Chain A
Amino acid sequence: MDSDRRRDSRSWDWDSPQCRAQVDEIFFRRHDYIQAGSTEHKEFWTFFDRFQRFKIKKDVSESGAKEDIEDRRKTGTGKVDLGLPKEYDARYRINVSVCTRDVEERLGKSEHRGRQRSSGPGSHEISDCRLTLLHFLDFSQRQSFGKLAKLRREQKSLPIFQYRDRIVELVRLNPVVVVAGDTGCGKSTQVPQYLLSAGFNHIACTQPRRIACISLAKRVSFESLNQYGSKVGYQIRFETTRTPSTKLLFLTEGLLLRQIQQDKTLSQYQVLIVDEVHERHLHCDFLLGVLRSLLADHPDLRLILMSATINIKLFSDYFNSAPVLQVPGRLFPIQVIYQPIPPDEQASRLEKLDPRPYLRVLQGIDQRYPPEERGDLLLFLSGVAEISTIQEACQVYATHTRRWIVLPLHSTLSLVQQDKVFDTSPPGVRKCIISTNIAETSVTIDGVRFVVDSGKVKEMSFDPKAKMQRLQEFWISRASSEQRKGRAGRTGPGVCYRLYAESDYDAFAPYPVPEIHRVALDSLILQMKSMCLGDPLSFVFIDPPPTASIQTAVTYLKEQGALDSRAELTSIGTLLAQLPVDVVIGKMLVLGSLFNLVDPVLTVAAALSVQSPFLRSSQHNPDCATARQPLQSNHGDPFTLLNTFNAWVEVKGERGGGSRKWCRRRGLEEQRLYEMVNLRRQFKDLLRSHGLLESQSSAPSGGDRGQRRERLTERKKLHQLKRDHEKQESSRRKVLRLDEGQDGEFSSGSDAEGAGRGKKDKEGAGQNMDIQEVKFKLRHNVSELQEAASVSQDMSSRQQALLKLLLCRGLFPQLALPDEHNSTRKDSDQVFHTRNKQGVVIHPTSVFASDPEVLQVPEDATREMGPERRDSTRHQLLAFVTLLETNKPYLSNCVRVPALQALLLVANSVDSNADCTRLVVDGWLELELREPDEALKVLSTALTLRAEWERLLLAQLGQSTMAGAEVQRVSRKVLEKLSEGLVRFLLYTEITYSLRRLTAFQTQNLYIGPQSQSEPSHTKDVNPLFPGVEAKPDPIKGGLRVSGFFNYNCLVDSKDLYSECLRSFWTCPNCDLYMPLTPLERMQHEASCRPAGEQQQPEEEPEGGKAASSSMSSLTRVYHCDVCNEDLTLTSTEILKHKRQHMYSAK
């Protein structure tokens, strides 16, 4: 038999690829269990080689070892005969067989082997291969089963496992249960599974972080062996794997709130699990409040709060003393060493952090612990600046000792950089991870043995008075301190160095300040309003936010037009409350959908919702700066982002994967651009689902059948690539190089990188790039995107102006005024003022930080009118997205807009004097216009434009709430006319004025106040500028409230409205009216008088301001004349004439 085999192998070579391919043709065909080319197939051949070697060895050692099995068998008399074969064969231990007709036929041909020899494998080879295949299958089965058994053992060994039945029982008996257990007890993964297997259906489990929803859904689905398949899913802001058969859903807190907003009964769920309640996120606190009131009406609903062992009583008490189940954590002992920083090494507020205390810890570890004992160091600092200071110092030490790899970790790092903390270090070298509090809860790194805790954290706080976010450094709480310490004991005993005294620790607050006390509550209040939760001030929060914060939010929402004066939702507010985006972003989207600017608005809204793609580390790299230059727009940062996105889409269309290099050269984090493109698409769907965007007329899949098939094949290939990637994904972590930390953060970001590093990037990140590219191609239609990009790339200056206006209206009231002395200051000292905060500066990343001249009023365009007054036609304002105070108050993401024009079109209140030469906007900006005639004209135009804009917007919103009311869509012609008017107003209004910020003193004596009823007849019957709206005396400011925002003649310096001296003869350019009129009367006439034939030829309109139109019928209204005692149907002008008739006759 052996000689037989040897003879065969002379003509059949198992090592030859051709021979193997022939075998593949028999065993691994396309429809077989294992297919040629697959991962398993590769593994099989590796196994084959090993198995053959093993067999030869065994054959040799076992030859002649046949024993007297027969004898042994006989000893088992009196018992059952198992009927086992006489001769041992490992094959008998495999419970699988492989049989196909192909294989059987070939085996049958053994007699003709001689003839078949040359054409392929003989029966021997076939049976060899089949045997190996059986062993391979058995091997894979054992491997997988081993993993399963291990998984089950791990599940059983989790601390929470012992409480399995108790938890189920508690949930059955109580409406609310609190499960408290520390990290590692297994509550997040196990509790939902316990409930599922106990027969609960429709379970929702909320998470504060999106990423946790995805990973938990994956993990639980895996642990339950995909038993539930699609029955375990996740749903995050715009992404879901949920199906009608989903039984367990992981979702974000915000999303569950949205669902409650739509369905107050929440009947779709049987059990709600709110995880990580101790983190006290805004949404979580609010969610608890909502659920608390909801539970009363739904006795069948079950609620489980899961928390770390922090402040458990608070939660239990809030829910009527709900039962608490406390699970011990699984932490190894941790030694705590207090090493307070000596006074001479403590940094004062403005100095850099002194690295010596941190270096001492590193040295101490090197002295005390042999390098063979593994264990990394995790160092907690408060912020990015602190991290880079300490990183620099530690790197010097690391380079010297060659025992450390220093890695930073914070959220503004590129993802590749962040990911490095999970890689392993070579033997004898420790990782030193310098992190913000991101590693306290969000990111878990295994293998940490030493923790250094600075005791500091930078936290956002909100100043309701200045309407400003503030990032300040604080001492952490005892709870955070314990959390940080715990990071050292996850995989073994650890050490925690606290760089503060034990007495400091004792003085720490017990818990961190909940988010609801630290942030602006705009979105929260808006949502509360739309959920009809009554007065936000009386809502029972677990820990009520400061009253001032709620009031500021209400005021702000009023300013933004989301709430009306009685704090009820407006129609735009109702819509905004449904959009899961920031109020300002939502406003932009809604406004953009009205005009033909959807594409750029979608891009800008998406860009402003993700982190900036511009890497801070590349900012000072001259190569990057040069490469970025063409992308920059001096109109503002949103335009730079728009350009960047469009250019990137262009590159993706042309070069596909080459975009990575393109990004690197410009210091761009491509991941952010991928996020943008996804978000952009989701915004688009959002607008569509709210009826604000026409649904796509036809599917984008045009082309003939051939092209379609091609696309289909392409997609199949992409899907395969994605699957392949997923297979490899989690499999291996890289080993870091000793000099890893040195480049990293400080690397140029350009192509000219160190050779060694460049190579690694190509291997590691190269793969990463491919998968991103693949996902991108799967999700998006590149040519469609390109089309959209080229549309916004070729934007005319008119469209650009309109986009600017939309952004400005969206961002309103977030406006800043350049300081009047900026032109005499250095570039870096430019100062701005917002309504609530003086002396803010532009963030260095903004285009206006490097190019501040574009914001200054050109010298030649100004005329000095005394010491305080500079007249110009070119004043500008900045609309900004964020105002955040770190070491200074910074404005980020700014757009510049022409001041007067923008204010008249977006401001909430414009107050004037009698001849409209002095305007006060929103109570803080004063504009003085030189020419009364021009002032009247510009004001009157603005009034008309705004009224029309408002009308169309409401029409658009109104129809969006009515399903399928496409017919009523605002006509394109009317829209084009409006946008034409707006653009003309923005670009071509030439009017000389001064602009300044009112002082606190000046704002006190601004208004004349309510007037005595001396002249009731005048004020009562004055016609509104807009038919249907009555002009009423303003009860607070005085003067006449002419439209929603315009208050005429209420400023103190005003002269009397009807005093004859203000009446001057005026000729209407449109009709033959020639009469002495007051400014108000003139505006009224202008608002209603249209040039002859305007309806027919609107384009030939001579005047810039008459763009907007209303139908003729709306110009007339019923007017009751007290003198005639008669109802008359007249236009405003006719009413005016009619009244004048009485006035003169009375005299």
Chain B
Amino acid sequence: MEQTTIEQKTFACQLCGLSSPFTYYGQKPPNTRAIVLLEECFVTQDPFSPDKEKFLVLGSTCSLCSMCVCVGSDCSLFYTKRFCMQCVNKHLDQFPHQIQAELAKKKHSSKAAVS
């Protein structure tokens, strides 16, 4: 189960292109004690925390299409599983209305910003 730490590998989001080195891939990053991830994630040390033991999840793979996506809300969504935004849009009707409403609202506001 325990994944070994991989050094110098780079994670890159296939949707937005965000790339960053990761130090661990799996569900149990080092030094997280009682914390378990519910999906296999690309994890790095949180560079924004002065505490060296804090982790930061960069992204994971879409549970449907296996695309590598970052956790940014423009690229993916987690709802019991990870879904890339493409898959979410494809299967939007299966998501609860709270999520649908949220996405619609976001779409609207980003459109407004563009125009």
| A240 in contact (CB, < 8 A) | no
**Chain A residues in 8 Å Cβ range of B8:** 227
Q: Check A96 against B35 for contact (C-beta < 8 Å).
A: yes
Q: Check B45 against A33 for contact (C-beta < 8 Å).
A: no
How many chain B residues touch A (CB < 8 A): the figure is 50
Q: Check A152 against B18 for contact (C-beta < 8 Å).
A: yes
A147 contact from B32, B48, B82, Cβ within 8 A: B48
Which residues of B in the span 54-106 have a Cβ within 8 Å of any Cβ on A? 54, 56-58, 60, 64, 70-72, 77-83, 90-91, 93-99
Sampled A-B contacts (16; CB under 8 Å): A31-B33, A40-B54, A69-B96, A73-B94, A76-B94, A84-B96, A88-B98, A93-B78, A97-B37, A97-B38, A100-B33, A145-B57, A145-B72, A149-B70, A225-B45, A723-B50
Of all chain B residues, the one with the shortest Cβ separation from A227 is B21
Which residues of B in the span 1-27 have a Cβ within 8 Å of any Cβ on A? 8, 18-21, 23
The answer for the CA separation of A72 and B64 in the assembled complex, in Å, is 21
> How big is the A interface, by class?
35 or more
Taking the nearest CB of chain B, how far is it from the CB of A244, in angstroms? 16
Q: Check B34 against A103 for contact (C-beta < 8 Å).
A: yes
**Chain A residues in 8 Å Cβ range of B96:** 69, 84, 87-88
Which residues of A in the span 83-101 have a Cβ within 8 Å of any Cβ on B? 84-85, 87-88, 92-100
The answer for the CA separation of A76 and B77 in the assembled complex, in Å, is 19
Q: Mark A113-151, 1 if CB is under 8 A from B, else 0.
A: 000000000000000000000000100011111011100
Instruction: List the 9 shortest-distance A-B pairs measured between CB atoms, nearest first.
Output: A227-B21, A88-B96, A100-B34, A225-B47, A727-B50, A33-B33, A95-B78, A76-B93, A95-B38
Of all chain A residues, the one with the shortest Cβ separation from B57 is A141
**Chain B residues in 8 Å Cβ range of A88:** 96-99
**Chain B residues in 8 Å Cβ range of A97:** 35-38
Q: Check A225 against B41 for contact (C-beta < 8 Å).
A: no
**Chain B residues in 8 Å Cβ range of A93:** 77-79
Given contacts A141-B57, A145-B71, A147-B48, contact A225 B35 (CB under 8 A): no
The answer for the CA separation of A143 and B46 in the assembled complex, in Å, is 11
Given contacts A80-B64, A95-B39, A96-B37, contact A148 B56 (CB under 8 A): yes
Taking the nearest CB of chain A, how far is it from the CB of B35, in angstroms? 5
| A726 in contact (CB, < 8 A) | yes
Q: Check A92 against B18 for contact (C-beta < 8 Å).
A: no
Of all chain B residues, the one with the shortest Cβ separation from A134 is B35
Q: Check B93 against A226 for contact (C-beta < 8 Å).
A: no
Q: Check B32 against A72 for contact (C-beta < 8 Å).
A: no
| A32 in contact (CB, < 8 A) | yes
Of all chain B residues, the one with the shortest Cβ separation from A147 is B48
Q: Check B46 against A144 for contact (C-beta < 8 Å).
A: yes
Q: Check A144 against B56 for contact (C-beta < 8 Å).
A: yes
| B110 in contact (CB, < 8 A) | no
| A67 in contact (CB, < 8 A) | yes
| A1005 in contact (CB, < 8 A) | no
Other A-B pairs, 17, CB within 8 Å; known A148-B56, A227-B44: A33-B34, A69-B96, A82-B64, A82-B95, A95-B39, A95-B82, A96-B37, A97-B35, A98-B36, A137-B35, A144-B49, A145-B57, A145-B72, A149-B18, A152-B19, A225-B21, A227-B23
The answer for the CA separation of A226 and B32 in the assembled complex, in Å, is 18
Given contacts A72-B97, A144-B46, contact A32 B80 (CB under 8 A): no
| A620 in contact (CB, < 8 A) | no
**Chain A residues in 8 Å Cβ range of B97:** 67, 69, 72, 88
The answer for the CA separation of A88 and B97 in the assembled complex, in Å, is 8
B20 contact from A75, A148, A222, A723, Cβ within 8 A: A148
**Chain B residues in 8 Å Cβ range of A1018:** none
Taking the nearest CB of chain B, how far is it from the CB of A167, in angstroms? 18
Given contacts A95-B39, A141-B71, contact A32 B82 (CB under 8 A): no
Taking the nearest CB of chain A, how far is it from the CB of B95, in angstroms? 7
**Chain A residues in 8 Å Cβ range of B49:** 144
Q: Check A95 against B91 for contact (C-beta < 8 Å).
A: no
| A79 in contact (CB, < 8 A) | yes
Which residues of A in the span 665-692 have a Cβ within 8 Å of any Cβ on B? none
Of all chain B residues, the one with the shortest Cβ separation from A73 is B94
The answer for the CA separation of A1140 and B79 in the assembled complex, in Å, is 114
Interface centre among A76, A82, A142, by most chain B C-beta atoms within 10 angstroms, is A82
Given contacts A33-B34, A148-B47, contact A92 B21 (CB under 8 A): no
